[in-house]
Amino acid sequence: MEKKIYPRSICAEIQKYLFTDDIVVLHGARQVGKTHILYWLRDRLKEQGRTVDYLDLEDSRVRSVLDRGADEFVQYLKEKGLDPQRFSGQEQDRIFVFIDEIQYLNNPSSFLKLMADHHRSVKLIVSGSSSFDIKSKFQDSLVGRMVDFEIYNLSFREYLMFREVNLDPDTARTPKTIDDLRGHFRQFVIYGGYPKIVLTEEIEKKERYIQQIIDTYVRKDIRDLAKVRDIQKFNTLLEALAPQSGQLLNITELANTCDLAKQTVDEYLTILEATYVIRRVRPYHKNIRSELSKTPKVFFYDSGLMQMLWLKRLPQEVLGGVFETAVFAELIKRYGPRDLFFWRTQRKQEIDFILKRPDAVTPYEVKLKFEQWNRSSVRYFCERYGIEKSYCIGLDGDAAPDEHIHPWEIHDK
């Protein structure tokens, strides 16, 4: 039986670029669903009667064809009955070729540039497993020729769709519906948002699959990709970081814990960030030089993976720091990583997240229970920066209108 392919939220945005001259590039961590997004887009084009081909570069035979260059690839298409010369290259009159795992090519940048410049009748939609690998092989020559999309694991709204939960967060008003959504969000926090984990029922299997992601993709792939010199110390760093998700990043302490030079710790953090395991969140300041000189916080992108590294199991209850990590991930998926900050003064006044948008700056505090919210830091921040609206994102308790929101309501604020 063929697996059902669910449309991810980002598909609507990607579809806007299917008929432009841009090469469409999807990049993100392994196992977050990039391949299935390619499948979904491919199937929509087929339904429209477009000419479509799909290539997986994990197949060394296909990879060798593309490694020999653009002309060899065009000849390969001709031999498959897909002669690019039959198409005008104007908007919809093209061959749409999906290429999975583009980073496996020896020189993907050169291949893509030649295709974009000389074979406009072939529209390329490609995926790569990490920005680190793509950036190490992609050159500036592709600027202006491609549009890229970061793919994350599932958002909570996507989780509900994958689980086929018949609840609409946009219309949830009754205590029963809100309580049902609250229960689902707890599961989402505990198990994380990797599609395979979301679709697996048994907890034991969820744990085994997350551990497999850690062992195969996080440890082995990143180790090989970045040529990590000391595997054991790299693994120790990963495990030391997990319980610190949501906390200030102390490079000196990490270096001492892992017996690594501070420069090496910083290099490993950069690798983990580029491969979508963690994200460093900078403090909010109006003076950017001041902002860049301050200590960042560190967050994991996936709360399930974070807990397996930390606790070696998936707990039954939602922990405060893990809830904050899940909220961080929801904000990133909704708004992107570049607009998200935190705020902290030397007197240790602190706000968990500051969302900086072109039209507004919005502070968010995160508490498991709404009644835990102490408004003093937010009040001070709003007075200092002239901010009108602030919110507490919480899960339990009675939500007061206009100041308390549930995590699934971030979408609207």
Residue 374 tokens read as: 């102490």
Whole-number average pLDDT of the chain: 91
Q: Which conformational region is residue 69 in: left (phi greater than 0), alpha (psi within -120 to 50 degrees), or beta?
A: left
CA–CA distance, 323 with 186 (Å, rounded to integer): 9
CA–CA distance, 30 with 194 (Å, rounded to integer): 10
Are 79 and 112 within one domain?
Answer: yes
Residues of 281-306 as b/e, b for ≥16 C-beta within 10 angstroms?
bbbbeeeeeeeeeeebbbbbbbbbbb
Residue type present at position 234:
F
185-217 pLDDT, tens digit per residue, is 999 999 999 999 999 999 999 999 999 999 888
Predicted confidence at residue 4, as pLDDT, reads 86
CA–CA distance, 410 with 366 (Å, rounded to integer): 12
Are 106 and 195 within one domain?
Answer: no
278-319 pLDDT, tens digit per residue, is 999 999 987 666 665 589 999 999 999 999 999 999 999 999
Residue 100, pLDDT > 60, answer yes
- How many percent of the chain have pLDDT more than 90? 74
Are 143 and 169 within one domain?
Answer: no
150-190 pLDDT, tens digit per residue, is 999 999 999 999 999 999 999 999 999 999 999 999 999 99
Any domain includes 375: yes
Any domain includes 248: yes
383-395 pLDDT, tens digit per residue, is 999 999 999 999 9
Are 291 and 187 within one domain?
Answer: yes
CA–CA distance, 247 with 108 (Å, rounded to integer): 38
CA–CA distance, 199 with 188 (Å, rounded to integer): 11
The CATH number of residue 103's host domain is: 3.40.50.300
Residue 133, pLDDT > 60, answer no
Are 141 and 194 within one domain?
Answer: no
Any domain includes 266: yes
Are 86 and 230 within one domain?
Answer: no
Per-position DSSP letters for 157-179, written without gaps between them? HHHHHHTT----GGG--SHHHHH
1 vs 71 pLDDT, higher one: 71
CA–CA distance, 172 with 194 (Å, rounded to integer): 25
- Nearest 5 degrees, angle CA 134-CA 137-CA 140? 95
Predicted confidence at residue 7, as pLDDT, reads 94
Are 107 and 163 within one domain?
Answer: no
Any domain includes 304: yes
Per-position DSSP letters for 260-325, written without gaps between them? --HHHHHHHHHHHHHTTSEEEEPBP-SSHHHHHHSPPEEEES-HHHHHHHHHSS--SS--HHHHHH
Any domain includes 115: yes
321-364 pLDDT, tens digit per residue, is 999 999 999 999 999 999 999 999 888 889 999 999 988 999 99
Predicted confidence at residue 290, as pLDDT, reads 64
Mean pLDDT, range 120-125, rounded to an integer? 95
Any domain includes 4: no
**Number of independent structural domains in the chain:** 2
Contact 219, 238 (CB under 8 A): yes
CA–CA distance, 413 with 406 (Å, rounded to integer): 11
40-52 pLDDT, tens digit per residue, is 999 999 999 999 9
- How many percent of the chain have pLDDT more than 70? 93
Mean pLDDT, range 113-122, rounded to an integer? 92
Are 254 and 367 within one domain?
Answer: yes
Taking the CA of residue 12 as centre, how many other CA atoms within 13 Å lie in the half-sphere pointing to its CB? Answer: 1
Give the end of a domain, one of 103, 135, 151. Answer: 151
Mean pLDDT, range 110-115, rounded to an integer? 92
Residue 1, pLDDT > 60, answer no
Are 147 and 163 within one domain?
Answer: no
Residue 132, pLDDT > 60, answer no
Are 201 and 345 within one domain?
Answer: yes
Are 240 and 263 within one domain?
Answer: yes
Range of the domain at 303: 159-412
Contact 111, 69 (CB under 8 A): yes
Predicted confidence at residue 289, as pLDDT, reads 63
Q: Is 261 exposed, middle or buried (0-12, 13-18, 19+ CB in 10 A)?
A: exposed
Give the end of a domain, one of 129, 151, 173. Answer: 151
Any domain includes 6: no
Any domain includes 1: no
Confidence of residue 139 (pLDDT cuts 50, 70, 90): low
Give the end of a domain, one of 88, 119, 151. Answer: 151
CA–CA distance, 411 with 355 (Å, rounded to integer): 13
